[in-house]
């Protein structure tokens, strides 16, 4: 159950993505508004905004537009990663029921033998994966998020398949 390489790969990808600068907003997106002195001086006597002191308000583009949304491919990859975490949890729990054959090599035994703590750890990795994916998508790095998710799902698939293969070979003896 070797998750160290996966963790290092994901950490490297996240570190690399945080170094890439975010897209800066251009100053041309703000609404050009006249200065207060100009608004009163250029108004006609019948103009409702002339002498009343009503001035145009600048609208911030951040408040009106939201970041990119997750599409079906994004949700399917996040769902696959979460499902693989559940399968990793069940394979580890099954292996712990036969301690003469298996020993957790990566995680501390105190964590693995504490079922609620181990479940919280697995749930935390799912939440962290989701948060990192959303962060990358929000900063317009969807391709980096997808590539890292492909690597993560591939490595977890290999590990879970290996775990269940070992469990199947011991059960057959």
**Integer Cα distance of 156 and 83 in angstroms:** 10
User: 22 CB contacts (<8 Å, ≥6 apart)?
Assistant: 139, 140
DSSP single-letter state for residue 84: H
Q: Which of 129, 141, 98, 170 is nearest to 9 (CA)?
A: 129
Residue 59: the pLDDT is 64
Burial class (CB in 10 A: 0-12, 13-18, 19+), 94: middle
Where the chain has pLDDT below 50, the residues are: 1, 19-30, 39-40
Q: Which of 16, 29, 1, 47 is nearest to 143 (CA)?
A: 16
Residue 1: the pLDDT is 47
**Integer Cα distance of 64 and 125 in angstroms:** 32
Query: For residues 14 and 144, is the Cβ–Cβ distance under 8 A?
Result: no
**Integer Cα distance of 51 and 57 in angstroms:** 17
Residue 162: the pLDDT is 87
Residue 45: the pLDDT is 53
DSSP letters spanning 71-98: -HHHHHHHHHHHHHHHHHHHHHHHHHT-
pTM for the whole thing?
0.60
């Amino acid at each position: 159950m070797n998750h160290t390489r996966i963790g290092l790969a994901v950490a490297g990808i996240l570190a690399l993505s945080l170094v890439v600068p975010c897209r800066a907003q251009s100053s041309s997106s703000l609404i050009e508004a006249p200065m207060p002195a100009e608004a009163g001086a250029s108004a006609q006597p019948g103009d409702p905004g002339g002498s009343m002191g009503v001035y145009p308000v600048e609208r911030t583009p951040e408040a009106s537009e939201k970041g990119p949304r997750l599409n079906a491919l994004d949700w399917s990859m996040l769902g696959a990663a979460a499902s693989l975490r559940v399968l990793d949890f069940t394979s580890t729990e099954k292996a712990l029921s036969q301690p003469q054959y298996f020993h957790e090599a990566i995680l501390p035994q105190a964590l693995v033998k504490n079922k609620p703590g181990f479940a919280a750890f697995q749930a935390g990795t799912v939440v962290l994966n989701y948060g990192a994916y959303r962060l990358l998508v929000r900063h317009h790095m969807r391709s980096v998020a997808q590539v890292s998710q492909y690597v993560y799902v591939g490595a977890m698939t290999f590990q879970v398949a290996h775990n269940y293969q070992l469990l199947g070979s011991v059960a057959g003896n």
